[in-house]
Amino acid sequence: MTFMAGAVALGAFLWLVNRQWLGFHAQKPGDYLEGPTFSLPEHLNGPMVCEGVIYGPMGRVVTRFVGTFEGVWDGDKGHLKEHFRYDSGTEQERNWYLTTHNDGTFDAEASDVVGTGQGVIEGSAVKLTYAIKLADAAGGHVLKTTDWMYLLDNGTIVNRSQMRTFGIKVAELVATIRKVDA
């Protein structure tokens, strides 16, 4: 009887986590009102370096990368150029086009993003949700992605992203983004 109760409790917990009521998807931008104030035009501007890892569905590191970013802003419109070099030797380019709004939200577009990503900035955090289409060499799948960026007191940004298909996490990215001298 105790075994059954434990199995039911574990099943209920896993169901809650999968339903996104706990953990990564349960957080809200309003949870991060303390600390420095994140401003896309200020903190994603100029030359930056990004260093990180991507975990596969079983939690193991599947690749490491270093990226160079260049952000340019004209009022509420931003262009973020990204160049990634992976440990396999492959390279990838992405150009984000960002539009901020007065209510703390923003739109994000890129060539491998299906439609327009929706973001919200509050306090020291940014949340961006979008659907990304993987390259054909990586299967061409479309993954629902949630990016969280957290601004630290020293200006470094910690980025944590999860990619899902059919509600199941298939990859997670953890990276830092920091400005470099021009």
Q: List the one residue out of 102, 154, 162 whose CA is nearest residue 127.
A: 162
Confidence of residue 14 (pLDDT cuts 50, 70, 90): low
**What pLDDT shows up at residue 48?**
98
Average pLDDT, the chain: 89
Name the superfamily (CATH) of residues 28-179. Answer: Calycin beta-barrel core domain (2.40.128.20)
Q: List the one residue out of 20, 40, 9, 47 whose CA is nearest residue 128.
A: 40
Question: Which pTM was predicted?
Answer: 0.84
144: left (phi over 0), alpha (psi -120 to 50) or beta: beta
Confidence of residue 20 (pLDDT cuts 50, 70, 90): low
Q: Given 3-state DSSP classes, what are the helix, strand and coil percentages for the chain, each rounded to the nearest 5?
A: 20, 55, 30
Q: What is the pLDDT of residues 108-164, one digit of tens each?
A: 999 999 999 999 999 999 999 999 998 887 788 899 999 999 999 999 999 999 999
Q: What distance in Å separates the CA atoms of residue 171 and residue 134, rounded to the nearest whole number?
A: 12
Q: Do residues 15 and 21 make contact, with C-beta atoms less than 8 angstroms apart?
A: no
Domain boundaries, the chain: 28-179
Q: List the one residue out of 29, 48, 45 whose CA is nearest residue 37.
A: 29
Q: Do residues 65 and 86 make contact, with C-beta atoms less than 8 angstroms apart?
A: yes
